[in-house]
Chains A and B, each alone.
Chain A
Amino acid sequence: MEEYIIELSRLTKKFMEKEALCGIDLKIKPKEFVTLLGPSGCGKTTTLRIIGGFEEPTAGDVIFEGKQINEVPPYQRQINTVFQKYALFPHLNVFDNIAFGLRLKKLDQGAIEEKVAYMLKLVNLEGFGKRKVQSLSGGQQQRVAIARALVNEPKVLLLDEPLGALDLKLRKEMQLELKNMQQRVGITFIYVTHDQEEALTMSDRVVVMSEGEIQQIGTPEDIYNEPVNRFVADFIGEGNILDGIMEEDFKVKIEGRSFTCIDKGFGSNEVVEVLVRPEDIQIVEANKGMLKGVVESVVFKGVHYEILVRDESEMTWMIHDIHMVKVGQAIGMEIGPDAIHIMKKVG
């Protein structure tokens, strides 16, 4: 058995001279849940469509279980897709939608009924077989789309923003359900989304993309805690991103002040970018912190307050804290060494 089920190597795609993908390298292991994350137009959907066989790469290779499959049409790939707007067949009922792939494989009626029934149970839609797909809610249509793909027992399931059309609460339920399902059926999932929270919740590994290039590949913890550049830091979660100068290992200078950090390996006096997550800044009494500032605004966000503070050198910091402070109040801020993350400056 191959170590990787899908390998993309130097994958490039041009649409009318415009580069949508510029050399994507990605290796995906069997049974992995990988998410392609990025803003719209970053090339994530194009990558997915190339894996599915709906687009041919301009250059580079798609390798499936060790074999190059660039020109293999979609109907000959052991890969199935859950489409963005579900793409359920409106002229067929729920049962016939799910049975579509099985009938093409000429399975006998008994086997088809058994498999479809199992799938309807898996996606919690028992007894819905005879229903018209138009009569289902968005969430139910979503489940039919997943069942229709999974029933074919693909080796890889591609999901193109499948939860985009659902409301927040349903989306969160479906996230957990999808993750659950993936673990039960043991199929490789490649998931495309622009929702960073969705990516962090479900994935084994996240691939952050921007403008046709991969910015970072890593576990959700990695990309949240150790983003490699400003783009990733900015796109995943919220953060204070500041310019700094590395004085020596474990010491960085921000706005003329020296801070202790836990990063090393940068050149001395190298210009870097510094990320401080808002939840990592502690509010202390005004004269006790490393920095002193005045509260500019406080917004209640449910679990925490989002607090903007202007410090003595006129810099604004964003802080997340569960304790309320008052606008105009003078406070102190404490930033521990592990709250500071140093990134290479690009461009």
Chain B
Amino acid sequence: MKKQWLSVPYGIWALVFSIAPILIIAVYSFCSRSAYGNIIYEFTAENYGKFLEPIYINVLWRSVLLATQSTLACFILGYPMAMIIAKSTIKKRNIMVMLFVLPLWTNFLLRTYAWMVLLRDQGVINQFLIYIGIIDEPLKLLYSHNAVLLGMVYNFLPFMVLPIYSVLSKLDNSLVEAAEDLGAPPWQVFLKVIFPLSLPGVISGAIMVFMPAVSTFVISDLLGGGQTVLLGNLIQNQFLVARNWQFGSAISMIMIIMILITMGITSKYQGEGGGRQLW
């Protein structure tokens, strides 16, 4: 006997808070706009056409670029970290994982504001560099592409480390021994056994970093200072400032489709077991 009725509350939840809003967005994205910005329920594709203008395509390009860069940076920083945690004793492991998750317990905005304090012209980093005499003028750290990248990596790194760690810690050590036994020196063991077997974790991690990175608007707002407009900023702007809900909805739909495509591609490479439990 399957207790199917247990899924009813979740079904209602998903219907009301996920499926219905997406449908509403989908409908809005095809609606026309009156001169005063009101929604007219009349079919049009002009909202999507508008997105093809170079200025918006540029925003898309910048968003994808930044998200890709931060995913890569998280991978390069996160993989060794995940390996170190997975190789430690259980006691150390738990402490390390906790240290890693600890910043997530403080407010996301607060953490991002903290970076502003560190990076601004009179901030801790610039003052320190001037104090020890490396620079005379403060560096322009805040409100730049790199500041946004830094903010993304800082905020999303745990989402890369945890799935990789989870796969690595379950990796059967006898496979490592078997590879050594067959003549593989340590780096070959990593290349031919450990890394291929940890791919599901890497893919999960990449998705979990890429998706929030491509849609964030807070980080680019605070650390980019309006210089770095991303898709998230664009959507926020269309809804709250320009009052063009139709265009905002169209961008949202484009983003949803982009993410679905990414997930479709990556799920092909995600073999059985490992990492998937995070989703």
Contact = CB atoms under 8 A, between A and B. Distances in A.
Interface of A: 52-54, 73-76, 79-81, 83-85, 87-91, 100-101, 104-105, 148-149, 152
B95 interface: no
Given A74-B181, A87-B174, A90-B197, 12 more contacts: A52-B181, A75-B180, A75-B185, A80-B182, A81-B177, A83-B174, A83-B177, A100-B182, A101-B183, A104-B184, A105-B183, A149-B181
B192 interface: yes
A100 B179 contact: yes
A54 B178 CA distance: 10
Interface in B179-218: 179-185, 188, 192-193, 196-197
B182 A101 contact: yes
A167 to B, nearest CB: 22
Contact of A91 (B174, B185, B197): B197
A126 to B, nearest CB: 22
Contact of B174 (A73, A75, A85, A148): A85
A104 B183 contact: yes
B196 A91 contact: yes
Nearest to A79: B181
Given A80-B182, A104-B188, A152-B183, A54 B177 contact: yes
Contacts of B174: 83-85, 87
B271 interface: yes
Given A54-B177, A74-B177, A104-B188, A87 B183 contact: no
Interface in B143-179: 172, 174-175, 177-179
Contact of A87 (B175, B196, B197, B271): B175
B184 A89 contact: no
A176 B134 CA distance: 76
Contacts of A100: 179, 182, 184, 192
Interface residues of B, number: 18
Nearest to B173: A87
A54 B181 CA distance: 9
A73 B182 CA distance: 11
Nearest to B188: A104
Contact of A89 (B175, B183, B188, B271): B175
Return the 6 tightest CB-CB contacts between A and B, nearest first: A101-B182, A87-B178, A87-B174, A74-B180, A104-B183, A81-B181
A262 to B, nearest CB: 47
A104 B180 contact: no
Nearest to A90: B197
Contacts of A81: 177-178, 181
B271 A91 contact: yes
Contacts of A90: 175, 197
B167 to A, nearest CB: 12
B183 A75 contact: yes
Contacts of B196: 91
A87 B188 CA distance: 17
Contacts of A52: 181
21 contacts: A52-B181, A75-B180, A75-B182, A75-B184, A76-B183, A79-B181, A80-B181, A81-B178, A81-B181, A83-B174, A83-B177, A84-B174, A87-B177, A90-B197, A91-B271, A100-B179, A100-B182, A100-B184, A101-B182, A104-B188, A152-B183
Contacts of B178: 81, 83, 87-89
Nearest to B175: A87
Nearest to B172: A87
Contacts of A75: 180-185
Nearest to B176: A87
B197 A152 contact: no
Contacts of A85: 172, 174
B172 to A, nearest CB: 7
Nearest to B192: A100
A190 B216 CA distance: 60
